[in-house]
Chain A
Amino acid sequence: MTARLARTVSSLLAAAVAVSCTNYFEIPIETPIRPKLDVSAFQRVLVAGFISGGTEDVDANLETVRLLRSQLRTKSELRVIDADVLPLMEVATEPRNGNGSDSAENSGEAQPAPGPIKDEKDLEPFEHVFANVEYWKRIGEEYQSPLIVTGTVMFMPHQRSGFVQREQEVYDSFGRRRVVPVRTYMERKGFILKPKFIFIDGRTGTTLYSETFREEILYNANNSTPALSSYFELMDRLIPSFLSTLSSQKIRGTRVLLK
């Protein structure tokens, strides 16, 4: 034990001597992030479904449900409920029977069927469903009061033209290679992903928290990246933020220590 202590002390002294020869040190750190939402009251989570729109090449509702469930299974302590995806668009267009929260519109008449969802404005006629406390309470009772994850997902094609900076190799008269920035006019196309995640308390049907994200990706117009690949690439960027709502995360980075 004494020998071990001596070894530790001498290694620390050696390190301190090494430290005294340099002025700054890069050090890896892991910053713990507390979850934004206190989910200690829940044992289960139901990713219920989303109202989605944009391109028809990807079923953003189904893909988002699958992706979030698989992420939550491995990266959260909540038990993920496997259930059919809720037909939220149908629910939103059903006649309201007086159980909804928005009593002014409780006439019992069917809502006019909204058209296809092409952009964010088209989502508006459906959004009242998230405030329907009775509906979510009923879903909560059906699945033993879980935390419910729902919301909207827009995955839209996008085009933008303009100058972009890229690097180009050039060789001078001596044959030496250099890389210089060049501004070029380019036609680009890609996608915008804009999900809004809504977290609902399955015991009361009320919204606990919601958060909107926006990510976009652009490719050279000649590039033919499949829409589904772009969808996953964009979701990859925002999954850590989604997870940090429910469970503690560690963000790896480096900082500089000074002498």
Chain B
Amino acid sequence: MRLHTVLVALVLTVGGAAPARADARSDAKKQVEFGIAVAQRGLWREAIYRWERATQIDPSYAAAYNNLAVAYEHEGEFDKARTAYEKAIELEPDNALVKQNYELFKEINDRTTRKDGQ
């Protein structure tokens, strides 16, 4: 009887977690899509707000971190951009588009910090 109760509780927990994750991703995705729409119109601060919200809603959403990194880069916030790119790559190490963005970012970032003298 006790085992039965435990099993029911387990099924309810596992079954409930998946839809919750799906809801979080769906909500985060709405923020990401709206962010893209506003970024395409040059409203980068609003886009940052949307993508930050998306990462809060779903911290495992690589696309949100990638987009956030692009927006930070556009705003000249290079430290934040690097952190966001690295998080996106950590979440999706095989995503070629994120890696391509990161390589382009690093090229510019290295150029700005290169010094050989004083």
Contact = CB atoms under 8 A, between A and B. Distances in A.
Contact of A210 (B38, B40, B100, B117): B117
Contact of B98 (A211, A212, A258): A258
A198 interface: yes
**SS of A interface (majority):** strand
A258 B112 contact: no
A255 B70 contact: yes
Interface in B18-61: 29, 32-34, 36-41
Q: Give the size range of B's interface with the partner.
A: 20 to 34
A132 interface: no
B63 A253 contact: no
Contacts of A207: 117-118
Contact of A31 (B33, B40, B76): B76
A258 B37 contact: no
Contacts of A29: 70, 73-74
B114 interface: yes
B97 interface: yes
Q: Among the interface residues B29, B62, B118, which one has the most CB atoms of the partner chain A within 10 A? A: B118
B86 to A, nearest CB: 16
A258 B76 CA distance: 20
B4 interface: no
B100 A20 contact: no
Interface in A1-46: 12, 15-16, 18-20, 24-25, 27, 29-34, 36
Contacts of A34: 76, 112
Contact of A244 (B73, B100, B101, B112): B112
Nearest to B69: A255
Given A211-B115, A257-B67, A251 B108 contact: yes
Contact of A257 (B66, B104, B116): B66
Given A36-B112, A209-B115, A255 B73 contact: yes
Given A20-B33, A198-B117, A258-B62, A33 B108 contact: yes
A110 interface: no
A27 B42 CA distance: 10
A15 B97 contact: no
Given A208-B118, A209-B117, A259 B76 contact: no
Contact of B37 (A16, A241, A244, A253): A16
B34 to A, nearest CB: 5
A257 B39 contact: yes
B37 A31 contact: no
B41 A211 contact: no
A241 B74 CA distance: 19
A253 B105 CA distance: 10
Contacts of B62: 258
B116 A212 contact: yes
Contact of A19 (B33, B73, B100, B105): B33
A256 interface: yes
A27 B38 CA distance: 12
A24 B101 CA distance: 12
Nearest to A15: B37
Task: Give the 7 A-B CB pairs with smallest separation, nearest first.
Answer: A210-B117, A258-B63, A15-B37, A32-B76, A255-B70, A16-B37, A29-B74
Given A33-B76, A255-B73, A257-B63, 4 more contacts: A24-B97, A210-B116, A253-B108, A258-B66
Interface of A: 12, 15-16, 18-20, 24-25, 27, 29-34, 36, 198, 207-212, 241, 244, 251, 253, 255-259
